[in-house]
Amino acid sequence: MEVFRNWTNEHRQQFRKRNIAVQHRLSETGLFTDEALANLLDRHPSSKLDVMTMGSPDGPYPNALQDGDPRGCSGKVLIEAAKAGRLWINVREAMNIYPEYKRVLDMMYGEISERTGIRRFNAKGGILISSPTAVVPYHCDAKETILWHIRGKKRFYAYPATSQYLPDEGYEAVVLRERDEDLPYSPSFENNAEVFDLEPDQMVSWPLNAPHRVENQTYCVSVTTEFSTFASAFKNGVTVTNGLMRRKLGMNPSWYRDSLPAKAAKFALGQVLKKTPMYEQSLRDSFMTFKVDQKQPGYIVNMEPVLRHF
């Protein structure tokens, strides 16, 4: 089976340089039906399962994702909850753990390698199961990420990876894991958004770290894949150093202003800093604030925040 339906030479030239959308055939594998997913969820370890909902739509971080307790629900109930509630479920690494899904992941990246000439990827892939009203807040990913949308409809908004949309301090917070992957948002950003109305079996790919957000229009199933490249590892190493310089030393460093030799020195330093308590201390604890309960109308019941220790 060929994964892509309408890959062109233009896609080849623009891959990771521009935002592109391409049609694929992942739904034909039969691995993403509700039945297959319920079965998968029943096998999946809760340490690699995120069940999230969205917070207030106001403030600098609108709709920030909140962690729920993923334990104690059957796959069937989780699928029902995704259809009825306001949930964003990430079955992390599902595409790597199970052989039938891994075969598909290898096909996806095999075909990208073939079509772009880029060889090794070591991609990780998660499956996203999300509610008709779910949104993903404005954020960026610290690795090279692709969204393979499979079922339902969602609107995807992509923004330029420039200092206005991706400020130094915001990206440092992502790399230091201070607050998930959220970035501060302003409605004025919409002037420069590129919008994709994703149909079933359509993938969208964007340049490294380009901020984006998503609004679901129906119940949705998608796959998200990420991989590291030298470019992403280099930038993240520099960013660890910059983030700690700002936070521990009160300085005002900038990825955008630094020369290449300065970045190279900071990258080397970042490799050392990552092994020190300075870096460890900046990593945030994660708290679960709700659980899924099939007796509630939206399948969500709030609880006292509990530290996620798994």
Given the DSSP bridges, would you call strands 287-292 and 65-69 parallel, antiparallel or unpaired?
parallel
If the CB atoms of residues 141 and 201 are measured against Fe ion, the closer one turns out to be 141
d(CA 101, CA 107): 10
Least Å from the CB of residue 234 to Fe ion: 20
What is the identity of the amino acid at 161? A
Least Å from the CB of residue 206 to Fe ion: 9
Among 50, 67, 93, 141, binds Fe ion (CB under 5 A): 141
Least Å from the CB of residue 281 to Fe ion: 26
If the CB atoms of residues 141 and 168 are measured against Fe ion, the closer one turns out to be 141
Helix 168-175 and helix 230-249, axial crossing angle in degrees, nearest 10 = 100
d(CA 299, CA 25): 32
Least Å from the CB of residue 190 to Fe ion: 18
Q: Of the listed pieces 102-110, 133-141, 169-177, 265-273, which binds Fe ion according to CB under 5 A?
A: 133-141
If the CB atoms of residues 40 and 136 are measured against Fe ion, the closer one turns out to be 136
- Residue ranges in 10-69 that form contacts with Fe ion under rule CB under 5 A: none
If the CB atoms of residues 93 and 141 are measured against Fe ion, the closer one turns out to be 141
Least Å from the CB of residue 224 to Fe ion: 7
Query: For residue 121, what are the contacts with CB-CB under 8 A and spacing of at least 6?
Result: 109, 112, 113, 227
If the CB atoms of residues 144 and 201 are measured against Fe ion, the closer one turns out to be 144
What is the identity of the amino acid at 164? Q
Q: How many helices (H) and strands (E) does the chain have?
A: 9, 14
Length of the chain: 310
Least Å from the CB of residue 212 to Fe ion: 6
Q: Which two tokens stand for residue 115?
A: 């079509």
Least Å from the CB of residue 176 to Fe ion: 18
**Residues touching Fe ion: how many (CB under 5 A)?**
1
Q: Of the listed pieces 52-60, 134-142, 264-272, 301-309, which binds Fe ion according to CB under 5 A?
A: 134-142
Q: Of the listed pieces 85-93, 141-149, 197-205, 247-255, which binds Fe ion according to CB under 5 A?
A: 141-149
H/E stretch holding 155 reads strand 154-158
Tell me the CA distances in angstroms from 242 to 155, 209, 233, 281, 284, one per residue in order.
34, 16, 14, 16, 18
Please work out, in degrees rounded to the nearest 5, the angle formed at the alpha carbon of residue 155 by the alpha carbons of 1 and 98: 40
If the CB atoms of residues 205 and 242 are measured against Fe ion, the closer one turns out to be 205
If the CB atoms of residues 79 and 136 are measured against Fe ion, the closer one turns out to be 136
Q: Of the listed pieces 139-147, 215-223, 232-240, 274-282, which binds Fe ion according to CB under 5 A?
A: 139-147
Q: Of the listed pieces 78-86, 88-96, 102-110, 137-145, which binds Fe ion according to CB under 5 A?
A: 137-145
If the CB atoms of residues 141 and 172 are measured against Fe ion, the closer one turns out to be 141
Name the CA radius of gyration of the chain, rounded. 19
Please report, in angstroms and rounded to a whole number, the separation of the first and last CA atoms in the chain.
38
Least Å from the CB of residue 278 to Fe ion: 27
Q: Which residue is nearest to Fe ion (CB)?
A: 141
d(CA 173, CA 277): 17
Query: For residue 102, what are the contacts with CB-CB under 8 A and spacing of at least 6?
Result: 95, 96
Which positions lie near Fe ion, rule CB under 5 A? Answer: 141
